[in-house]
Amino acid sequence: MYSLDFIQQRISSAFADARFLHEPIKLYEPISYTLDQGGKRIRPVLVLLACDLFGGDIEKAVFPAMGLEIFHNFTLLHDDIMDNAPLRRGQETVHKKWNDNTAILSGDTMFVLAYEYVAKTDAALLPEVLRLFNDTARKVCEGQQYDMNFETQEKVTIEQYKMMIRLKTAVLIACSLKLGAIIARAEPAEANKLYDFGIELGLAFQLQDDYLDTFGDVAIFGKEIGGDIITHKKTFLFLKAFEVARGDDLAHLTYLFNTPEIPPAEKTNKVIRIYQKLRIDEYTRQEIEMHFQNASQIFNSLNVKEELRKEIHGLAGGMVGRKK
């Protein structure tokens, strides 16, 4: 059994050894810039941890794990264009540092690179691995489309929102875990349980991201605080606020989100104060905890030795309790 520190170092060294800077430089420099930032690299770490959980050879999982991380970063490049986000991991986003066209084309190339790395798996397992990856990639795109639809859709329910983040965020975390189990040749029922665990963990993870966007510390979080408020994203916090708000609070929220002339900083501060008055921060933390407990229940039902669980369970707790 490998420690979480060892797995993280193995992924870091794999990316350090990779060479992403090629000609034409203007195409590959943004890719190298993005992947050199590192980030949390949760998804490839989950691949290796899941592989190790079922007694697999983690070296056979390294390249496919890198493929999932490259795919994840490809989605971020395009998401940042759609959201007009200025910062990612405390650094300028690619479309801000270069331009939109560069970010689109470099992102497309990263999608190709992701396939190349995922395909570097055992030939006997490749059909199953590619089915999982293709299904995941399609669902992530579906989730992004729902996210964009919600921008102009007047009525969005909390359940619809959770369906969207399940597609956009949770399925890739679930895919990472199941991919590691497949490479380790785990029993299909166990691999599917790990996938279900990943879905619940992914929902908690995204809800924590939403929480930090409003209640986090920009110096720690690495992204602009209040970005979701400024762009009127229909997050859990937004939807819950409109669900529980009454009277003056409802009228004030409606005014704030429908008056583009209000300066961004002023809008953010006023919305946060209303959220706090309505206990939206508490509601969100409760929702995160519910999904984390669901995830823990599924994980504890796996047919593996107790001592093998601690690394994944520890990482899961860190994902949900993180500050950035």
The DSSP line for 116-147 is HHHTSS-TTTHHHHHHHHHHHHHHHHHHHHHH
Model pLDDT, residue 247: 97
10 Å Cβ neighbour count for 198? 27
Model pLDDT, residue 42: 96
Helix (H) or strand (E) holding 87: strand 87-88
The answer to pTM > 0.75 is yes
Half-sphere exposure of 313 (CA within 13 A, CB side): 16
User: Which pair of tokens denotes residue 310?
Assistant: 């601690």
Distance CA 101, CA 68 (A): 23
The DSSP line for 242-308 is HHH--HHHHHHHHHHHT-TTS-HHHHHHHHHHHHHHTTHHHHHHHHHHHHHHHHHHHHHTSSS-GGG
With cut-offs at 50, 70 and 90, classify the pLDDT of residue 21. Answer: very high
Domain that holds residue 247: 4-321
Helix (H) or strand (E) holding 92: strand 91-92
With cut-offs at 50, 70 and 90, classify the pLDDT of residue 307. Answer: confident
Half-sphere exposure of 196 (CA within 13 A, CB side): 15
With cut-offs at 50, 70 and 90, classify the pLDDT of residue 87. Answer: confident
10 Å Cβ neighbour count for 120? 13
Q: With a cut of 80, say whether residue 90 has pLDDT above it.
A: no
With cut-offs at 50, 70 and 90, classify the pLDDT of residue 79. Answer: very high
Per-residue pLDDT, averaged over 293-307, amounts to 92
**Domain total for the chain?**
1
Query: Which CATH number belongs to the domain containing residue 234 in this structure?
Result: 1.10.600.10
∠ CA 112-315-276, nearest 5°, is 100
Residues 6+ apart with CB under 8 A from 298: 193, 196, 197, 200
User: Which pair of tokens denotes residue 4?
Assistant: 């979480």
Q: With a cut of 70, say whether residue 324 has pLDDT above it.
A: no
Q: Beta strand 87-88 with 91-92: parallel, antiparallel or unpaired?
A: antiparallel
Model pLDDT, residue 222: 59
